[in-house]
């Protein structure tokens, strides 16, 4: 009986083995072997870019500048669509050059779009029709014309000048197209605008400008965009295959975040005309403070807040694909909130008044988005915080006029340091007029809800009458390399003093010491006009800028190269100047620039502006 059972069991095992072998033989036919888990899953599992929708708008990920083999690119129109699909974009514009140098005179500029359209429809990618007007002269540069009907209708000759470029922009304006100024850092590496561009911008024929193009970042462009009321654009300007130039699994390509009413080409066009966009590249963002603030706030989800007496503990989750870096000027209190990670930390309640800069979100060439510490440690508000419209700060008869950007609701402000409220403050209706040193605090109320408090400290300094004869600055040199004790400007003491002299501008003099030394530069600085000045101090290591005994910039940190800016109202005339600086170890640098009232960019403070105290 047992023998029979063993024989039956053996037969069953043999039968299963034969069936398995047959199955394997069928699947692993030597003439056709399908190797599983070997190819890329991108075609079936495209990336999802996590950028939150904000303020009732859909956030669309868009690249408005790229090329194919039909001008000077290396890939087909169909591949451009496939790249956008696997990388998580919503829309692209293929903008082949016109004229296409090296192509026949009768080249068909409209052939790219239909070749890409079928793939775009299959992959649900919104395909925007466009082209790039391309000229190698600095005055014309390159311009994208988007949302057009027929590329061939523009008929730009192989050799053309301002007249033909102007006619193309007039034609674009007539058909309701939308135009961007491309890579303003090329051919002018200082990102200065030609008079041709300025004229076309002021006529409403250029409506957007690239802050990011491929690997390049043009900070000054942010100031141009704000000055002329343009839209912020980030674009790849890709010519080769996308993964040839970028490690795509690890990074996102340059792009524009467009805040549209719906996912359609028409909605993208409308949003760009209304300037609802933020430029993105390499985890840097540039845009209006309004949209950057909404994006930052919507990215973070406060999951838990604990009151621990004198401290608060918070647990925040970053729901986006953007890493956020926050700096309040104190190295020990810097904050990093990585993408799809938690920020879980405890901070003293007294720190809630600290103002932070989100250092990867730019609102000008020198400014980053400012937020209060309380925003991270207090339940989020549904009401938008007022923001400074710094582009439109002005002066009138010695008064500084501070304009605010206010959203829905009533905004109240104070200038005496107290918290604004409907029963404590002034209802904002026009730029705030100031003629003294104070801190503006503003808060928006809508029903029983209120925003976070916006703060803007203004230092208001009147000039001093003083007789001066020659230019220069007094300086004192300090060193103590033996004890390595100069690690702060507070170490520039009499026992470390070595010698003094006169220099034309704050700069390093000749000396033997390589590390552990410092300077104090002192004298007078002449403000050529009355108004709000923005100073930029770029040093390695620490420094301070003190004007009329008021701290304008405090950079006193032993942490390498630091660039910091500070605003101050200066009445025309002389002001007392003091700038301590120290070098700890390794690299050294001293550079002081200013943005004078009415100027569009920073310049180095000239020697003619300085006068020594000791003549």
pLDDT digits over 31-86, tens only? 787 777 777 767 678 999 999 999 899 999 999 999 999 999 999 999 999 999 99
Q: Please name the residue that has the structure tokens 């100069």.
A: 486
Pairing of strands 355-362, 284-286: parallel
What number is the average pLDDT over the span 340-344? 96
Mean pLDDT taken over the chain: 90
Name the residue with higher pLDDT: 381 or 144.
144
What number is the average pLDDT over the span 484-508? 92
pLDDT band at residue 540 under the 50/70/90 scheme: confident
- Which tokens sit at 556? 């006193």
pLDDT band at residue 160 under the 50/70/90 scheme: very high
Pairing of strands 355-362, 324-327: antiparallel
pLDDT band at residue 566 under the 50/70/90 scheme: confident
pLDDT at 469: 85
**CA nearest to 188, candidates 240, 136, 246:** 136
User: Which positions ≥6 away from 399 have C-beta within 8 Å?
Assistant: 433, 434, 435
pLDDT at 485: 81
**Bond before 93 cis per omega within 30 degrees:** no
**Cβ contact 226:233 at 8 Å:** no
Question: For 523, phi and psi rounded to 5 degrees?
Answer: 160, -145
The answer, yes or no, to whether residue 358 has pLDDT greater than 60, is: yes
How far is residue 88's CA from residue 269's CA, in Å, rounded to a whole number? 20
* Residue 182 burial (C-beta neighbours within 10 Å; 0-12, 13-18, 19+): buried
pLDDT at 19: 46
If you compute the radius of gyration of the chain from its CA atoms, what whole number of angstroms results?
A: 30
User: Which positions ≥6 away from 167 have C-beta within 8 Å?
Assistant: none
pLDDT at 12: 53
Q: How many CB atoms lie within 10 A of CB 356?
A: 21
pLDDT at 10: 61
pLDDT band at residue 389 under the 50/70/90 scheme: confident
CA torsion 8→12→13→18, rounded to 10°?
A: 140
Q: Could you tell me where in the chain the CATH 2.60.120.1560 domains are found?
A: 473-611
Pairing of strands 497-503, 216-217: unpaired
The answer, yes or no, to whether residue 552 has pLDDT greater than 60, is: yes
- Lowest average pLDDT, out of 174-183, 224-233, 425-434, 579-588, goes to 579-588
**CA nearest to 607, candidates 525, 486, 508, 509:** 525
Which range, 109-123, 187-201, 585-599, is most confident? 109-123
**Cβ contact 489:558 at 8 Å:** no
Report the percentage of the chain scoring pLDDT > 90.
66
pLDDT at 5: 57
pLDDT band at residue 219 under the 50/70/90 scheme: very high
CA torsion 193→255→268→144, rounded to 10°?
A: 40
pLDDT at 372: 82
**Cβ contact 474:523 at 8 Å:** yes
Q: Please name the residue that has the structure tokens 């599983």.
A: 36
Q: How many CA atoms lie within 13 A of 398 on its CB side?
A: 7
What number is the average pLDDT over the span 501-512? 92
Report the percentage of the chain scoring pLDDT > 70.
93
pLDDT at 584: 86
- Lowest average pLDDT, out of 32-41, 119-128, 365-374, goes to 32-41
**CA nearest to 343, candidates 323, 371, 370, 363:** 323
- Which tokens sit at 197? 């561009």
257-290 residues labelled b (16+ CB within 10 A) or e (exposed): bbbbeeeebebbbebbeebbbbbbbeebbbbbbb
The answer, yes or no, to whether residue 453 has pLDDT greater than 60, is: yes
- Answer CATH for 297-380 from 1.10.3470, 3.40.50, 3.30.1050, 2.60.40: 2.60.40
Task: Tell me if residue 439 falls in helix, strand or coil.
Answer: strand
What number is the average pLDDT over the span 482-496? 89
**CA nearest to 254, candidates 295, 214, 208, 210:** 214
Q: Please name the residue that has the structure tokens 């996912």.
A: 263
The answer, yes or no, to whether residue 138 has pLDDT greater than 80, is: no
Sign of the torsion angle spanned by Cα atoms 103, 106, 110, 115: negative
Helix, strand, coil share of the chain (percent; to 5): 20, 35, 40
What number is the average pLDDT over the span 485-499? 91
What number is the average pLDDT over the span 353-361? 88
How far is residue 94's CA from residue 165's CA, in Å, rounded to a whole number? 20
pLDDT band at residue 29 under the 50/70/90 scheme: low
- Lowest average pLDDT, out of 284-288, 578-582, 586-590, goes to 586-590
How far is residue 37's CA from residue 235's CA, in Å, rounded to a whole number? 33
CA torsion 77→80→82→83, rounded to 10°?
A: 170
pTM value is 0.78
What number is the average pLDDT over the span 295-305? 93
pLDDT at 407: 81
Domain 473-611: give its CATH code: 2.60.120.1560
Q: Could you tell me where in the chain the CATH 2.60.40 domains are found?
A: 297-380
How far is residue 610's CA from residue 615's CA, in Å, rounded to a whole number? 12
Pairing of strands 543-547, 573-583: antiparallel
pLDDT at 13: 55
User: Which positions ≥6 away from 112 have C-beta within 8 Å?
Assistant: 68, 70, 77, 94, 96, 151
What number is the average pLDDT over the span 119-145? 94
pLDDT band at residue 4 under the 50/70/90 scheme: low
What number is the average pLDDT over the span 233-261? 95
pLDDT at 215: 94
- Taking CA atoms, 164 is separated from 143, 456, 474, in Å, by 13, 47, 57
- What residue spans of 89-218 are helical by DSSP H? 112-123, 162-174, 195-202
**Cβ contact 487:595 at 8 Å:** no
Domain 58-287: give its CATH code: 3.20.20.140
**Cβ contact 129:147 at 8 Å:** yes
End-to-end CA distance of the chain: 122
The answer, yes or no, to whether residue 16 has pLDDT greater than 60, is: no
Q: How many CA atoms lie within 13 A of 200 on its CB side?
A: 30
């Amino acid at each position: 009986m047992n023998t029979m059972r063993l024989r039956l069991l053996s037969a069953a095992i043999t039968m299963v083995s034969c069936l398995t072998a047959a199955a394997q033989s069928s699947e692993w036919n030597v003439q056709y072997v399908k190797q599983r888990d070997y190819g890329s899953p991108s075609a079936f599992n495209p990336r999802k870019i996590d950028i939150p929708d904000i303020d009732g708008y859909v956030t669309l990920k868009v690249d408005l500048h790229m090329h194919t083999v039909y001008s000077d690119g290396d890939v087909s129109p169909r591949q451009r669509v496939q790249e956008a699909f696997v990388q998580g974009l919503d829309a692209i514009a293929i903008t082949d050059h016109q004229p296409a140098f090296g192509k026949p005179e009768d080249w068909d500029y409209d052939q790219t779009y239909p070749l890409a359209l079928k793939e775009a429809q299959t992959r649900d990618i919104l395909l925007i029709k466009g082209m790039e007007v391309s000229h190698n002269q600095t005055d014309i540069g390159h311009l994208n014309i988007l949302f057009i009907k027929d590329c061939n209708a523009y008929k730009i000759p192989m050799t053309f000048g301002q007249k033909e470029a102007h006619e193309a922009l007039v034609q674009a304006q007539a058909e309701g197209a939308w135009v961007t100024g491309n890579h303003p850092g090329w051919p002018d590496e200082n990102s200065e605008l030609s008079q041709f561009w300025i004229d076309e911008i002021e006529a409403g024929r250029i409506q957007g400008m690239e802050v990011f193009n491929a690997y390049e970042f043009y900070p000054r462009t942010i100031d141009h965009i704000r000055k002329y009321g343009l839209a912020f654009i980030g674009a790849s300007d890709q010519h080769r295959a996308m993964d040839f130039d970028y490690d795509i699994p690890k990074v996102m390509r340059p792009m524009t975040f467009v805040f549209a009413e719906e996912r359609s080409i028409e909605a993208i066009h409308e949003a760009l005309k209304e300037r609802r966009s933020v430029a993105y590249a390499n985890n840097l963002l540039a845009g209006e403070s309004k949209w950057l603030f909404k994006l930052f706030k919507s990215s973070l989800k406060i999951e838990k807040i604990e009151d621990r007496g004198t401290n608060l503990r918070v647990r925040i989750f970053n729901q986006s694909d953007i890493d956020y870096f926050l700096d309040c000027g104190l190295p020990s209190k810097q904050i990093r909130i990585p993408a799809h990670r938690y920020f879980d930390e405890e901070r003293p309640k007294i720190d809630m008044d600290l103002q932070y800069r989100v250092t990867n979100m730019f609102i000008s060439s020198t400014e980053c988005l400012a937020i209060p510490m309380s925003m991270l440690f207090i339940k989020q508000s549904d009401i938008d915080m007022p923001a400074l419209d710094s582009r439109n700060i002005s002066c009138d008869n010695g008064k500084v006029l501070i304009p605010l950007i206010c959203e829905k609701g009533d905004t109240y402000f104070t200038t005496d340091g107290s918290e604004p409220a409907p029963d404590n403050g002034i209802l904002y209706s026009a730029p705030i007029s100031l003629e003294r040193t104070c801190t503006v605090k503003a808060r928006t109320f809508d029903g029983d809800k209120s925003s976070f408090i916006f703060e803007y400290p203004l230092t208001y300094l009147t000039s001093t009458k003083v007789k001066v004869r020659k230019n220069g600055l007094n300086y004192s040199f300090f060193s103590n390399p033996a004890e390595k004790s100069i690690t702060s400007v507070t170490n520039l003491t009499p026992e470390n003093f070595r010698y003094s002299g006169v220099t034309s501008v704050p700069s390093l003099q000749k000396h033997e010491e390589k590390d552990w030394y410092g300077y104090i530069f002192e004298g007078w600085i002449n403000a050529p006009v009355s108004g709000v000045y923005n100073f930029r101090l770029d040093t390695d290591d620490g420094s301070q800028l003190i004007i009329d005994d008021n701290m304008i910039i405090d950079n006193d940190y032993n942490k390498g190269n630091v660039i910091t800016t500070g605003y101050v109202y200066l009445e025309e005339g002389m002001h007392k100047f003091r700038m301590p600086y120290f070098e700890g170890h390794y690299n050294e640098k001293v550079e002081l620039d200013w943005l004078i009232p009415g100027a569009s960019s920073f310049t180095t403070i000239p020697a003619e502006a300085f006068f020594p105290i000791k003549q």
